[in-house]
Chains A and B, each alone.
Chain A
């Protein structure tokens, strides 16, 4: 039973409050998925917004064959994948136009928070060096905590491929994380 079903039904009938509840429920997840996959706060915010707008417009076509959350992740990974596939020069230009500072250089958080932000940046930077398919699989598992079966549904690949991508992704990630986190 999909825990979001009632809200989705309401939102589908145009109830803005129900949709607001869905956004409230999933904004941290979608934003962090985008943050981990792009390594950039401002890109992540824009992509996450894009995801929710697409979800809202697509509610009419959502038939409930999968859980809402699974469908949401599918929309999100598609939106983020297209962004990643764009030439990086284009992304750089968009970023310059938006004039956002590099979040890695503007950290001014004290103590514990600073350590966490630094770790997150280091991890996302390492993830960013993985091939997209491996990055997606590892992020959905290790950042988002999705079950293998749900990852298979989200990425529309067999479960064996999911296991293989996670295993290989983690293997490739190890030296990248070591460099990024300053492991000895």
Chain B
């Protein structure tokens, strides 16, 4: 009985149209998010915005590309603007009879999803970046703009990215964007600055002028009055009388008549109603509405909010799969940073100008890396890279260095040996690597390309590197 009811529910929730299957989620209907993967697109009825937000977020925050990449359309009668929801979804319709309008979008997204390669990323950061750039790619969107958003803990929301984080972890989104920029996947422009609580990074702050002595916000300002004829100076309170609302000088009893003629107001003083301290220069405190800390504004974390654009490299990374961030491979033991490698190459070229001799740089590229990585979990990927490096390490001199140019290309120096010998060593290395993979990883086909470039002191280090990796796509 129960099953029938459920089945009936589902039947009502699925709409077949133009060859696509639309999952129609009615207001407040409890449809599990896993259901999404069996359909081409999702339509959400908009009545209760909290519900819509919840549904849209749980789809976009899901880790499976079959779910988070699905087109979402909002069915809303009124045209109320919800910029963040609009950014997270792919369009809106006024009624189910308008389904034709969204069919092209569903078609386009479904096609573009086919272009993508899904690899298992080594790190959490790489996973989240993959989610972001694949979404951007399928939506044919180039920008990641910050949206002012009251539900955001930091005040600005990057919908496609921030949706992955709980409110109190939203600053992680900023870290991820920074990494993506360092990787050359995104480019940034200044957008705004926010001040965040130093204890919990919340932007939900209440600013108040407080007493510099006891930090109470219960203060009263009063004009200071200077009575010219007698030189008396004091807060306006001193000049008030009990009979009328005129002001009388407490020193000489004269009535104040005309500002600028017989008196003026040279400044303002504040009195604290808590500790009676009098002061002119109040402090400004920010009370955090999230963690309730109350600190001076100087202690707040000033944070830049940038808007981002997807680079060509970022687009390619979406298609080819984004496996690691530089940070991840920098952590592989036995390697140096690629930038350091470049610098050392520069010095070696300089050295060759002075002395006779021949040096080389070599590269080993995993030509089917997307395939390889998608078969391996992130721990195994890291293990593979470690193994490769240790084999290479044991076949070159200790004075030579190894670096990752990318997650699929390893570069190394082979200084002070003839080019012919370098080529021979590389050849031996590849067969050793093949042996290693055969023994350590079952059923894994790894294809290696190699290249050796002899250093020529007439050329720059950049030219050398270009030549070295030009054959690898």
Our verdict on whether A and B bind, yes or no, reads: no
Residue positions of B touching A, CB distance < 8 A: none
Residue positions of A touching B, CB distance < 8 A: none
